[in-house]
Every structure is written in C-alpha cells, then in structure tokens.
Structure 1
Amino acid sequence: MAEKTFWTEKASMKDFYVTPTHWIFTLCTFGLYFIIVYLIRLNTRYSLTNERLLIESGILSKHIDEIELFRIKDTKLSQGLFQRFVGLGDISIISTDDTGDLTLNCLPNAKEKREQLRTLSNDARTQKGVRTLVHE
C-alpha cells in the first residue's frame, strides 16, 4: 500500500499575539525574541502519513526525524489558557523509538489531530501485529 499523507502543518504564531509573557519578552529583547520564535516555528513542519510521523526542523541546517506509527505508545494533548483562546494545542508523543518522546507545538485543531494520530497508530500496530505489554 502506498504511503498517504493525512496532514502537513507548521507551528502557528496565533498564541504569540494573545500571550502577555511573549510580548514582555519581545519588548525586553527589542524584538529579538519574536524573530527567534517566528523563525523556529516557520522552519518546523510536522507531517502525518499512514506509516509515520515526520518532523522537519532547522533554520540554517535541516533535521528530519520520524517515528513509525506502530512505535507510538501514547499521546497527550495540552492547551494553555491562551492557546485555548486561539484554538491551538501541544501534542506530546510517547514512543518506543530511539527518538524518544516528542512534542508537536502550537498546532491548530490539535484535538482532532491527536485523535487521528492515535487512531492511525492503533491501526499500524494491528497491521504489523505489534502487541504491547502492560506492567502494573
């Protein structure tokens, strides 16, 4: 089966505009904080396919990391107060991959994206015959 892309997304700047601490840091650094955050978010891209989650990042040099979906153990969604105002969220991913745990920051429609990621990772585990052991 061919690899199918479900979504590709960049981190949003919407939360920056309504969060007072971002403005305080920006004023204290004469705008440098805003430029750094903007460049980092502009140059970070997340892509979800039916086989893997890809993370491309880097301003001057590029880094590409991926997690096979069958290796994802758990996902978590967190939304700060100001992120909730503008419809953003952070998705934390716990995996068995050598990459370790990752966080996808400031994604629009994060709740739906997390649910889709969870569904696809469960499907990938079923398709590959991967079973997880629960230690209590």
Structure 2
Amino acid sequence: MTPPKLITLRPALSYALWRSVLPTGLSLLFLVLAWTLSPVFIWCSLAFMLAAVYRLRYIRSIQYVITEGSLQVSSGLLFKRTDYLELFRVKDYILTRPVLMQVFGLMNLTLKSTDPENPVLTLTGIPAMDLVGELREWVQRARALNCIMEIN
C-alpha cells in the first residue's frame, strides 16, 4: 500500500516581506520624525514596527496542506485556526500572477467550491509550479471515489 500523496506549501518569505513594507516604512518615517521633531514619535515608530513584525510572522505561519482528499489551511499566531476543504467540492481554479509576483516566481491560486463555509479559498504567495494540473487530477479522483456527479 502506497502512502497518500501530500503537498505542503507556505507563502514565500519575499511575499511576506512585500506585505510588510507599508508598516515598516511608516515605522521608519516616525523614527525620522522622532529624530527631528520630538521623541514622542518613537512610540508610533515602535507600534508600526511591531505591526510589521506581527504581519510578517502571521503570513509566514500560514500553511497549506493538500492531500488526495482535502485541503487544510492553518493560520494564526496567538489563536490557531484550521479550515478544511474536501477536494470533491472544488469547482473552479483561478491562477493569478501579478507582475511583482512573476519577478519573485510566486503565484496566487484561488479555488471556488460548493463548501458553504469556504466558497472561495485563496492560496496566496506560493511558489509558482504546476499545482493546478495535479490538483485537478486529485479533485477528479475524489469525485469518483465519493460518487459525485456534476450537473449543470
């Protein structure tokens, strides 16, 4: 008996850094203001730097685990949350690669499903690969295994 296939993905560090640029920039701006105008601005700088570090750590904590039957999305630093999506519920795949993501070799994969809790699930900032082809095969296999027939 062969072990079930498993794909584990995380948003790339470059994606997390890019998403943390705004609070980092604001932190540096307030640091300059603290240096030139008033030391009171140091607290604003510290608050924005903490926000940037939290955002970076939060994005890096997201984990996508794809098995032959389900997709698990785990996220959170202080409070962990795991969402499960059965693959036979997936209806459509949307792959987007904006210019900046193309530069860093990343992509976003949006899955539309019939799941009432997660009708649209997006895997953001993952490395660019042929994930849609393999995922499509797993969805078809899961539908056949669960005797699911699509009626339009």
TM-score under structure 2 length normalisation: 0.75
Structure-1 separation of matches of 2:115 and 2:20: 33
Q: CA deviation at 1:16?
A: 5.1
Q: Which of 24, 27, 38 is 1:26 aligned to?
A: 24
- Detail structure 1 runs of 4+ shifted over 4 Å in the superposition: none
Q: Report if aligned partners of 2:16, 2:56 keep a CA contact under 8 Å in 1.
A: no
Q: Counterpart of 2:90 in structure 1: which amino acid? A: I
Aligned to 1:78: 96
SS at structure 2 position matched to 1:126:
helix
Larger Rg: 2
Taking the TM superposition and a 5 Å limit, the aligned residue runs for 1:84-95 are 84-95=102-113
Structure-2 separation of matches of 1:28 and 1:13: 20
Are 2:64 and 1:46 equivalent residues in the alignment? yes
Aligned to 1:10: 10
Structure-1 separation of matches of 2:14 and 2:21: 13
Q: CA deviation at 1:78?
A: 0.7
SS at structure 2 position matched to 1:97:
coil
Segments of 5+ residues of structure 1 without an aligned counterpart are none
Larger CA deviation: 124-133 vs 68-77: 124-133
Q: Which of 58, 66, 89 is 2:84 aligned to?
A: 66
Segments of 5+ residues of structure 2 without an aligned counterpart are 29-48
User: Do the aligned partners of residues 51 and 103 (structure 1) sit closer, same or farther apart at CA in structure 2, a change above 3 Å counting?
Assistant: same
Q: Which of 96, 116, 125 is 1:106 aligned to?
A: 125
Q: CA deviation at 1:29?
A: 3.5
Q: CA deviation at 1:66?
A: 0.5
Q: Which structure dedicates a bigger proportion of its chain to strand? A: 1
Q: Which structure dedicates a bigger proportion of its chain to helix? A: 2
Number of aligned residue pairs:
131
Structure-2 separation of matches of 1:91 and 1:68: 16
